[in-house]
Structure 1
Amino acid sequence: MELDSSQQWSRPMPTREQQRIDIVVGTAVAAVALLHLTLTASAGRFILGPPPSWPEQLFWSVAVTLPLAWRRRWPEATAVIIAVAFIGGQVRAAPEVQLASGAICAAIYTLVGWGRNHRLARRIGVTVIAAMFAWIGVAYWNTVADLPEDAFVEAAGPVPPLLAAIFSTVLTNALIFGFAYFFGETAWVAARREHLLQVQAEQLRRSQAEAGERAVLGERVRIARELHDVVAHHVSVVGIQAAATRRVMDKDPARARTALSAIEQSARTAIDELRRMLNLLRQPTATGDSTEAPATVGVERVDDLLANVRDAGLTTSYGVYGDPVPLPESLSQAAYRITQEAITNTLKHAGATMIDVRIRYLANELEIDVLDDGRGSGGGPNSGAGGLGLIGMRERVAAHDGHLEAGPRGGGGFRVRARFPLARVGAEA
């Protein structure tokens, strides 16, 4: 009935309330034992032979029952004391045996069910039971010699009388002690199962709390990534266009007005996207990728990013190679944001005059390739505050089991290339 012997578990000490109950029960049993002793002595039923003195009778009655008051606090000591007192009282022919028999059974049950060291408790329980049967054997051995010749004169069964008496006594005590031991074991197993359930419930609670913390952290990371992509790009474009406006304000007013219009549009776009994100944050049921851009922002709108760059005075090149295929919304948005971040870093840090964007639809991959002719070491996505651009790119690529390359080109400039597996993502979609 042991659940898992490889895992050691010690049953906790009884509560103060349980200890108080044991004291009350032990005291009450001792009082009843004294009452029963008085009645037995008054009736002259001395089945074990001539009794000892009255004080000794009281001593054995109390010694075999009162220790029950500490049965759950010290179960090992209680079982041993009661067993010794039981056998001692039998040896001294103490007349009180009914309450004493109940006390030894209760002690064995408590020992097996509440022993701190369950293996030791079971060994002590088996030892106590063996001692009881040994005493029964000794008692019968001493009794047989003194049996009168007419002791079994009325016996009529097929089994020899003496053998039947011995077997009946052994069977009765085996059932009594066996049930005490069995129910003690059952109580211990039940207590351990309750403990394991409590441990599992606590582990589940902690796992749920950790999962909630991870979900919150993931949501914060997605929000930070989205804010970085939206704000950094549009503010960078506004800065470049404002600088161009300042340079041509006096020489080419028409071009300056065009740049100002582009600045206005970029500012409006940034505000609209920030408002969209704030609205999503106010929705308590928003989960997963809810902070991603709407479906209208995807790889098909990459050319709009380059339009702002051209208005800022940079030369752009844009090409789509291969046969375009429908993309999952999240993949299309990820490709758009990576392109947007690469362009933003070029505008902010590279000092480039040219940006080349290429989108390739390969057999099993979607490839995004962004090149510039600026400062190779300073224009990468690792530039800026804490390298958040590169971190965001890698997170987006990793979310789709893709691969990202970012670094200076051999002939000058910087290159960002992201590959997304189309077959796997399409199957998941």
Structure 2
Amino acid sequence: MSTETGDDWRRPGPTGEQQRLDLYAGLAATALALLSLTLARSTGAFLLGPPPSGLEQLLWTVAVPLPLIWRRRFPAATALVVSAAFIGSQIRAVPEWQLSGWALFAAIYTLGAWGRDHRLSRRLRIGIIAAMFGWLTIAYAINYDVLTEGTFAGALGPVPPVLATVVTGLLVNGLYFAFAYFFGETAWVAARRQHELAEQAERLRRSQAEMREHAVVGERVRIARELHDVVAHHVSVMGVQASACRRVFDKDPAKARTALTAIEESARTAVDELRRMLGVLRARDGDGEGAGQPAGVDQIAAVVDRAREAGLRATLGVYGEPRPLPGSLSQAAYRVVQEAVTNVLKHATGASMLDVRIRYLAQEVEVEVTDDGRVTRPANADGLGLIGMRERVGTHGGELEVGPRSGGGWRVRVRFPLPVAGGAPPHPAGLGSPA
């Protein structure tokens, strides 16, 4: 994408259709110039002096407008050729000058509007206009004697005739070249602005495409996080229960049946949560039918119960005065506890105790999960579970601490800031690093 601005911008060349139009326009201007020459010769009014031969008049008349067929393809060369041919025809006193004058105007205009290098085209136009005024001055000097020999016998105005002629010529030519320069410059500026608008539209289109892509990626991450939280926890619980069932299947059928019942309940709960999650994903905006109530802090007790059924001495403590939490924050707290319990079941060797605590403080809610097991492998910062916890906590401006306890075991602690009175959320805290 181009980032050029001002005079550095180069206008793209003409299209094939524009080149064909220039061809037709140049040929039409040449035909009109030949018609104008025929009419001028027919009147016999040779204002520039005795004309050259008919063939030379024909050649000069064609030489001025014909290069316009390349005016947008080669604007600088066209302007120089047309200017040189125009001065040449004036020097040779060719009687056709009306259409030639319009051809010169078109060439200067096109150089300003279509010149590839705008700085160069500006210098060329100024040079051409200066050359034209130079030629006008020379023409007045050469024809001074002719102007004073009875040409103004009927002059009645207060201004001397020769001075009036010179001033009139300078005024008319000044306006002529000023308009040619101004319109060319205006066309170039308009084309540059149109180009900038097209670039802005393209940048906007790409930005929207990137936003859509980010939204899709974000949704995929959210789905992956939800699937991990739901599947990993319940599968881990079922794995622990299946292992216990295998060990006591022959010795204690009653305990085996209890373990199988726990596996069945975990599977049913996992299916229910997956169905709820899929309902949320399929629901339209504002349509929550079939989505069910998302899990929250009020369901943390069920997670602790499943850990207790898996053989851990699990406890849940709630401190402070419980208060309603925003739905997304409540769900984030639940998912953090669920993931922490899953990690205890999967990775903590010899764990016999699990302690979950929820503390309602003045401006935040704190959730802490500890155990007394030995971690068989170090915490993986790139693991999906830890990444999911960090994303959930970071979304709510909270702090996450993950690491071993000084007395043995492992701790996961999360602090979520609570909305202050009036609904304005507190300033988001930075995401804590693992302890």
| TM-score calculated relative to the size of structure 1 | 0.92
Q: What residue number does 1:40 align with?
A: 40
Q: What residue number does 1:305 align with?
A: 303
Q: What residue number does 2:67 align with?
A: 67
Following superposition of structure 1 onto structure 2, how do residues 203-352 of structure 1 map, counting pairs within 5 Å?
Answer: 203-283=203-283, 285=284, 295-351=293-349, 352=351
Q: SS where residue 315 of structure 2 aligns?
A: strand
Q: What residue number does 1:409 align with?
A: 405
Instruction: Between 398-407 and 335-344, report the one with greater CA deviation.
Output: 398-407
Following superposition of structure 1 onto structure 2, how do residues 10-409 of structure 1 map, counting pairs within 5 Å?
Answer: 10-283=10-283, 285=284, 295-351=293-349, 352-376=351-375, 378=377, 380=379, 382=380, 387-409=383-405
Shift of 1:212: 0.7
Q: Is the 8 A contact 2:400 2:415 kept in 1?
A: yes
Q: SS where residue 427 of structure 1 aligns?
A: coil
Q: Is the 8 A contact 1:379 1:414 kept in 2?
A: no
Distance 1:5 1:317 in 2: 68
Distance 2:113 2:43 in 1: 38
Q: SS where residue 374 of structure 2 aligns?
A: coil
Instruction: Between 331-340 and 403-412, report the one with greater CA deviation.
Output: 403-412
Residue identity matched to 2:411: R
Q: SS where residue 307 of structure 1 aligns?
A: helix
Distance 1:267 1:388 in 2: 22
Gaps of 5+ in 1: none
Q: SS where residue 154 of structure 2 aligns?
A: coil
Distance 1:125 1:133 in 2: 12
Distance 1:409 1:294 in 2: 38
Q: What residue number does 1:427 align with?
A: 424
Shift of 1:255: 4.0
Report the aligned-residue RMSD: 2.2
Residue identity matched to 2:365: L
Q: SS where residue 146 of structure 1 aligns?
A: helix
Q: Is the 8 A contact 2:347 2:376 kept in 1?
A: no
Q: Is the 8 A contact 1:52 1:94 kept in 2?
A: yes
Shift of 1:311: 1.2
Distance 1:91 1:278 in 2: 88
Shift of 1:286: 5.5
Distance 1:164 1:5 in 2: 45
Q: SS where residue 366 of structure 1 aligns?
A: strand
Gaps of 5+ in 2: 427-435
Q: SS where residue 123 of structure 1 aligns?
A: helix
Q: Is the 8 A contact 2:8 2:118 kept in 1?
A: no
Distance 2:33 2:240 in 1: 101
Shift of 1:379: 7.4
Distance 2:18 2:386 in 1: 63
Q: Is the 8 A contact 1:376 1:407 kept in 2?
A: no
| TM-score calculated relative to the size of structure 2 | 0.91
Shift of 1:396: 0.5
Shift of 1:251: 4.9
Distance 2:31 2:149 in 1: 40
